[in-house]
Amino acid sequence: MKIGFIGLGNMGTPMAQNLIKAGYHLQVYNRTIQKADDLDQASITKCKSPAEAAANVPFVVTMLSEDEILKEAVSGEAGLLHSLQKGGVHISMSTISPETSQLLHGLHQQAGSHYIAAPVFGRPEAAAAKKLFVCTSGGAKAKEMARPILEALGQGIYDFGETPGGANVVKIAGNFMILASLEMMAEAFTLAEKNGLDRAAVANFFGATLFNAPIYQNYGKLIANKQYQPVGFKASLGLKDARLAVKLSQTSQTPMPLAMLAHNRLLTSIAKGDGDKDWVEAFGKGVAEDAGV
């Protein structure tokens, strides 16, 4: 089956590779189309616009960086809305605000197509290993139609109802929990280091016992070992997620002091010129610098 795929960044590329492995032929669009050179050329058609990528296919997947860029790719002059067939489904997998999902749902409804939100948890390595956790929201029929595509990308699909932005709220809440965990681990391991202990031994202990969960184990290792390469998730995108959490906390009158703290940690790192470095570095290096190590 032919489907559209838009956005070949750190996440989009391994996701596209898994869809190809599952037997899909992809009509791909990316701002810099050279990114498509890494994909099996026999399984893709390179497109010049989002509209071209979504033409004559029942599904189009988007994995672009943020709200405004996604909106342009959907309803801009060469947006996918103009070409996606009636009854077609837009599977929107970026981390964006629930408002944007609501807006895009409305636009698709007017155009006779469907929109579902399907943001994911997992870094590029998890995407490559087909280990993403996918959260969904939107119309039941469209979600059911999209299921085989989502199954080709991850290890589990978790549904959060028919309100278009529901899954986006879950994704924002989850990334906030990761942000807070990064700050907490960076502080704890730096405390250990400053008191003469081996950061890695402390991280291993907690990861195996009290904090026996993937976030503490995987991110714990990176923070403990001060291992910030390769860049899996840019600090600039981390700030975007902290901003989404802060904004949602404001619009829903939910005070989130920890979200403000994480936001400022990322903002500081970006102000120092580290926006393209991994978000883990913003926390690991930021906390260490504050402590003079």
Tokens at 207, concatenated = 């990861």
Q: Which of residues 30 and 190 has its CB atom nearest to ligand NAD in the complex?
A: 30
Helix intervals (H) in the chain: 12-21, 50-54, 67-75, 98-111, 124-128, 140-151, 166-194, 199-208, 214, 220-224, 235-251, 257-271, 279-290
C-alpha dihedral sign at 23, 126, 166, 97: negative
CB of 175 to ligand NAD, least distance (A): 8
Compare residues 207 and 232 and give the one whose CB is closer to ligand NAD: 232
In this complex, which beta carbon is closest to ligand NAD, that of residue 11 or of residue 282?
11
Closest CA to 153 of 44, 26, 18: 18
Residue whose beta carbon is closest to ligand NAD:
9
Amino acid code (one letter) for 163: T
Q: Which one-letter DSSP state was computed for residue 217?
A: I
- 110 vs 104: CA distance, rounded Å: 10
- Name the minimum Å distance from CB 234 to ligand NAD: 6
At 61, the amino acid letter reads V
Q: How far is the CB of 112 from ligand NAD (least distance, A)?
A: 26
Nearer to ligand NAD, 76 or 139 (CB): 76
| Closest distance of CB 5 from ligand NAD, Å | 10
Cα 224 from Cα 185, distance rounded (Å):
8
Per the structure block, which two tokens stand in for 228? Answer: 């910030």
Q: How far is 116 from 255, CA to CA, in rounded Å?
A: 29
Task: State the Cα–Cα distance between residues 169 and 245, nearest whole angstrom.
Answer: 9
- Minimum distance from CB of 180 to ligand NAD (Å)? 17
CB closer to ligand NAD, 192 vs 282 = 282
> Residue 30 Cβ, how far from ligand NAD at the closest point, in Å?
5
For residues 155 and 130, is the Cβ–Cβ distance under 8 A? yes
Residue whose CB is less far from ligand NAD, 77 or 210: 77
Give the footprint of ligand NAD on this chain (CB under 6 A): 7-12, 30-31, 63-66, 69, 94-95, 120, 123-124, 232-234, 237, 241
- Nearest by Cα to 2 from 50, 45, 37: 45
- Residues with a catalytic annotation lie at 171
CA distance 173 to 249: 10
